[in-house]
Amino acid sequence: MLNRYFISPTTVDRIRGSWVGDAIERYVGWLDEQNYAARNVFVRVPILIRFGDFARISGAHTLDELPAHVEPFIEDWLKRRKLGQSECERRITAQRVRNPIHQLIRLILPHHGSNSHGKPNPFVDKVSGFFDFLRRDRGLRDATIVQYRHYLGRLEDDLRKADCSLSDLSPAVISAFITKSGKAMDKRSVQSLCSILKTFFRYLYRVGLVTCDLSEVIESPRRYRLADLPRSIAWCEVEQMLKKVDRRNPVGQRDYAILLLLVTYGLRAREVAALTLDDVDWKRDRLHVRGRKAGHSTAYPLAAAVGEAILDYLRLGRPKTTARALFFRAFAPYRPISGVAVSLRAKFYLRKSGIDVPRPGSHTLRHTCIQRLVDSGFSLKTIGDFVGHRTPDATKIYAKTNIEALREIALGDGEEVL
């Protein structure tokens, strides 16, 4: 398989001469099976060879020992490249190096204990039962546990750089970490960070890994439920955004259908990602959305524009696959698209259109759908049922943007409106 990509016999011999050469050749075969472009092989193989050399110098003698050397190798890689001080730049570079290594490890060590992205859970060597506790005792979904991995991973990295252990944690260290993290977050994200840290520190105290409950020193920022306005955009801006989609290629055909689903039905990103071919009832012109956040399913009339966009994608853009998911990644490996990817595509087109909105993403279009229903005079109860709100409280915020009703209240006593 290596000879298919590397013409020089010297290069092939060098790869096979590495102590992880057999694993790398197997990985190249896997990349070929997954239809990865050749450029991925040329970029990833040198990284894997250097990783193998680093692991051997660091004391690894078997493939089972490779996972322990991933993060030290990435730290060494970043130091050698002398990147700028931008944390974002460092994270992007680290992820580009980490991805092929994790793919290799998953391929050669399928039973290696790690999350779905191949990276070991934060603090797994010191607090091995925490993520099992989140699933078993707290009943958290994987989508929520991803947030725990993200924020606790940042805490683990911060403590490692400061040469600090869990037993050395103090209110000052925690406060400094939250303050530093909060500089790049909005208030909602800081609240999530504080909530996750509280849960983690309570668990540490409960299992006896720390001598005092540090969760008590964490104070979340106040955020009032009805303080913010919905993140909707005008319908003319929706049309402006849709015009920016290049529907001449598979990516544009997929994204156009996704954007129409988001703004027409107010679907959540994960609901769009979960759609299957069976959810589109062409005979009855129905769209079924199953497993919503409220635990129920909804059947919508299939709008003509949405149906045509989905058909275009199925005919010209969807990869050849036997899987039943509706939307797929446009590049190898061809897997069903994720909810995060759906939101990021919406964010991409909002920015491409020059539309200025706080926290752009799929929820911007969901808010726009709801706002249009408010402007059309539908009751908040009807709107909440349409978009799958669990309680009327979730729809109340849109009462603040019902301009006609507010105008009547301002001009009269407001009794008829209320």
Q: Which residues are catalytic?
A: 268, 293, 363, 366, 389, 398
Count CB-CB contacts under 10 A for residue 285: 13
